[in-house]
Every structure is written in C-alpha cells, then in structure tokens.
Amino acid sequence: MPPPKPTTLGALRDSGYAPREVREEIRANLLERLASGARIFDGVMGYEDTVVPAVENALLCGHDLIFLGERGQAKTRMIRQLTGLLDEWIPVVAGSELHDDPMEPVSARARALVAEHGDATPVAWVHRDDRYVEKLATPDVSIADLIGDVDPVKVAEGRSLADEETMHFGLMPRTHRGIFCINELPDLTEKVQVGLFNIMEERDVQVKGYRIRLPIDVLVVASANPEDYTSRGRIITPLKDRYAAQVRTHYPPTPELELEIVRQEAHLPEAAGVSVRMPAYMEDIVAELTFQARSSPDVNQASGVSVRMTIANYETLAANALRRALRGQEDVAVPRISDLDALETSTLGKIELEYAGGDRSAADIVRELRRRACKRAFDHHLGPDALAAVVDAFEEGWKVEVSQQMPSREYLAGLDQIAPLREAAVKLAGGDEPAAMASAIEFLLEGLHLSNRLNKTERDQGAHYAST
C-alpha cells in the first residue's frame, strides 16, 4: 500500500492529521484488535492464557515491558510483532534524523526546518517496519551506541558544544516514535544501564559533561534470562524498577503442544522422488527427549532447553532417514530408532550440561535421555503387556538384527515366521510398506528391551535383540 499523499506540513494539517504518542497509537490499535477478536501474535502457541493477556495489559497501560524467560521461548518473535500495533504510515519532517512529527518536532534540525519553511515544510512518510530498532546487549555496548556522543567532526567545523547539533544520535533517539528493543538487557554494563534508565525516566542524558534533553517518544521493550534479572543478577535496581511490566514466558507445558510448534517451524529436507514420513511414535520420542532434558539434573536448567532443540532434532532425524533412502534407492524415508544416534550432535549443541566427565561423557548423558524418551513413548503407544505374544515368540529362540543402514526390505525377510511381531508392526505402521514396517519393528523391539522383556546387544550402527 502506498503512503498517504500530503507532502507538506500545510497539506498534512488540512488533511485533519492529529499527532499522538506511540503508546496512544499502540493502545488504540490494540483496542481495535481486541474488539474484532484478532490475534496480536502470529505463530506463537501456548501463551493464549498466560503471556498474551499480560502483554495486552501492559500495552493498554502504556508500560515499558520486559520479557523474562529462558532461551527459545519466542521472546524476540513477540517483541518484533509488536510493530503490527503501530500505524502503517506516519508523517515525519523530511530530512530529520529522529522521525520528527511535523507538528511537534523535537530535534534542533527539524525545528529549524519547520521555522524556516512553515507550511511548505516537506513531509515524508515512514512505514511501521522502519520504526522498530533492536540491539543485542553485550558488555562492549556504549552510551554512544544507545544514546549518542559528541561528533568531533561537527566540533571541528566550528559548532559550539552548547549546540545540540554537535551530537551524533545513537539508536534510541533514532527510534523516536517507535519501539526500541534490547535483547539480554543485563549484559549491559552498569554505566550504560544508568544512562538508559536516565533517558527512559527523565528524557535527558549527559554526554561527556554536555547535558542534552531528548523528549523522545519510545516504547522500550527488553528481554532477559530470569537468573540475571534479580537482585543477585547483573541488573541495577533503578533500571529494573523502570520496567512497569515483567512478562514471564515459559516452555510448552505438554509434548503435544511442543510438537505443534515443531510441525509449524521445522523445515524437513527434501529430495526428488523420496517421500519423508515421520511416524507419530518417533515424533513423540523427539518431543519427550526435550522434556526429559528439561527435568534432568544433568542439564543446566538456568540456561534452559529451547524448543529449537526439538526442531533441530526433528529435522536431523528426518535427514538421516532421507540419506539412507537415497543410498538404498528407496522411495520412502521413515526414521527408525537406530537413527536416534544422529541426534547427538543436534542435542549437544542446544543444551548445557551440569557435569560430564570421568566415567560419564556428554554422549552418555544424551543416550540416557534418549532411552528415557523411548520408554515413555513406548508406554504411551503400546506398553509391554500388549506385546506378550511377541515376547513368547522370542522365548522360542527367535533373534532379530537391526541396523541404521539396513535396507527396509531386509526387515521383512523371515518376518512371516514371527507372526506376532509382524502383526504388531503392521498395526503400528498402518500397513505393510517396507520403510514404515522397518521403523515400527525397531520401535517395538526397543520398547520391549527398555521394559526388560528382551536383551539387546549393541552393534556398529545397529543392535541384536533376543530373549532375556
């Protein structure tokens, strides 16, 4: 949609335009969304009754707000979507640095332009997407980065330090009439936190002894880890008190909701001529692995276990099955239990372990989490008592060999002689397609092993199952 037509201050005034603060703008647009039943966040699940109402309350009150939560809880995604509550276009003084409102300019440059040209002052239009600025807080971020500094070039040109135009504005003033986001707020040094608090509270700041008043209109939003945002953390009390709303985010409360998010966000690898299918029980294992990590004493819970780990594991599992299908010239790729070994890299890259060493490596901890996840998924879908006939068949002396690289059809060889296993696999797979059957067989055998009904001997990229 093109911007509105008024191109001068006079034409803007004649159009009936009335300036309003960014908080009033957001509040009015939010009220329209609430009245129409429209959502304010797209692609964010599980927060409808917890996080979203708290955000709506803060915005209706015009509060600066901070999202507190561990990594991977959609904090930044929600903050970025707040721009949808801004007006699509706003007028600014053409040539101003700070998105000055033509009727209420705040910078010396814009005031001078309006004083010189009057109703002929050129007006430009800024889209809502250009009214959002985001900064990742790091210890090397300075006052100059966020607020500004004296420009030595302008001083050398002869301007006085008493002249506001000697200042080079930082990110926050340049977000005038917009939304300014600071991710990982406590990582700012105390000096910068003090400067940020001062400009948020008093709208002025001292730069190298030069005081400048900046009546900027900015909604300040931040994110932080709860461990850092405490009196024992790295946040100064005055700045902590300045955020009137502290919105606590959380991970999905159930594996089912976790999987909904994963299906929405995951991008499964594709190959011409090969169909990738993810069985429900393998999806459950991937989600349960994350839930096991979130409750494990071996995993640092302060840093969190992100939904991104579930997504990465889901994609990696599908990729490993696709590789096998391509090498075996199969047209269907279905992940198996033996593919779970591939999740070591995608899991270790997403968690911080409390302890690993000596007789227990990081890989050992991940394998233990996988075993727990498999057992939970098996109990959910079947349980050992449902496969008593399969156990009886193995007690008669049957043995089964499985392998990550074994072609799917080899799983079916001789399977007719173990009728209970075949029947259970067909029921679980929803048919007798070879790749789906191979996956179902491995899941059944592994579940019985974890239930102490079958023995398992580890092999290179595979296993041997026999009676206990």
Residue 264 has pLDDT above 90, yes or no: yes
| Tens digits of residue pLDDT in 372-384 | 999 999 999 987 7
- 240 or 49, greater pLDDT: 49
Residue 165 has pLDDT above 80, yes or no: no
Structural domains of the chain ordered from first start: 9-248 (3.40.50.300), 255-467 (no CATH)
Of 461, 458, 393, which Cα lies nearest the Cα of 422?
A: 393
Q: What is the pLDDT of residue 148?
A: 81
In whole angstroms, what is the distance from residue 112 CA to residue 402 CA? 79
In whole angstroms, what is the distance from residue 199 CA to residue 139 CA? 19
338 Rama sector, left if φ>0, alpha if ψ -120 to 50, beta otherwise: alpha
Confidence of residue 235 (pLDDT cuts 50, 70, 90): confident
Mean pLDDT in residue range 94-104: 92
Flag the least confident range among 137-141, 200-204, 240-244, 459-463.
200-204
Residue 205 has pLDDT above 60, yes or no: no
In whole angstroms, what is the distance from residue 106 CA to residue 176 CA? 9
Q: In the chain, pLDDT over 90 holds for what percent of residues?
A: 61
Confidence of residue 356 (pLDDT cuts 50, 70, 90): low
- What is the overall mean pLDDT for the chain? 89
Confidence of residue 241 (pLDDT cuts 50, 70, 90): confident
- 213 or 464, greater pLDDT: 464
Residue 159 has pLDDT above 70, yes or no: no
Q: What is the pLDDT of residue 164?
A: 64
DSSP line for 104-128:
B--SHHHHHHHHHHGGG-BEEEEEG
Give the side-chain half-sphere CA count within 13 A for 445. 31
Residue 271 has pLDDT above 80, yes or no: yes
Sorted by sequence, the CB contacts under 8 Å of residue 467 that are 6+ apart come out as 391, 394, 395, 397, 398, 454, 455
Q: What is the pLDDT of residue 93?
A: 95
| Tens digits of residue pLDDT in 295-340 | 999 998 888 899 999 999 999 999 999 999 999 999 999 999 999 9
CA distances in angstroms from 135 to 25, 62, 80, 204, 233, listed in the order given: 23, 21, 12, 20, 20
In whole angstroms, what is the distance from residue 376 CA to residue 91 CA? 58
In whole angstroms, what is the distance from residue 245 CA to residue 251 CA? 20
Flag the least confident range among 72-81, 155-164, 441-450.
155-164
In whole angstroms, what is the distance from residue 350 CA to residue 346 CA? 7
Residue 192 has pLDDT above 90, yes or no: no
In whole angstroms, what is the distance from residue 47 CA to residue 233 CA? 26
DSSP line for 161-187:
TTSGGGEEE-TTGGGTTEEEEEETGGG
Mean pLDDT in residue range 258-277: 94
Q: What are phi and psi of 432, to 5 degrees?
A: -110, 25
Residue 155 has pLDDT above 90, yes or no: no
Residue 114 has pLDDT above 60, yes or no: yes
Rounded (5°) CA angle 405-411-415:
165
Confidence of residue 46 (pLDDT cuts 50, 70, 90): very high
Confidence of residue 207 (pLDDT cuts 50, 70, 90): low
Provide the 10 A C-beta neighbour count for residue 209: 7
Q: What is the pLDDT of residue 338?
A: 93
Residue 70 has pLDDT above 70, yes or no: yes
Confidence of residue 88 (pLDDT cuts 50, 70, 90): very high
Q: What is the pLDDT of residue 97?
A: 85
Q: At what angle do helices 280-294 and 434-450 cross, to 10 degrees?
A: 40
Q: What is the pLDDT of residue 335?
A: 97
The model's pTM is: 0.86
Q: What is the DSSP letter of 211?
A: E
Sorted by sequence, the CB contacts under 8 Å of residue 410 that are 6+ apart come out as none
Q: Are 182 and 220 in contact (CB under 8 A)?
A: yes
Quickly tell me which residue has 């989600």 as its tokens: 287
- 254 or 355, greater pLDDT: 254
Q: What is the pLDDT of residue 210?
A: 61
Q: Are 190 and 236 in contact (CB under 8 A)?
A: yes
Mean pLDDT in residue range 253-258: 94
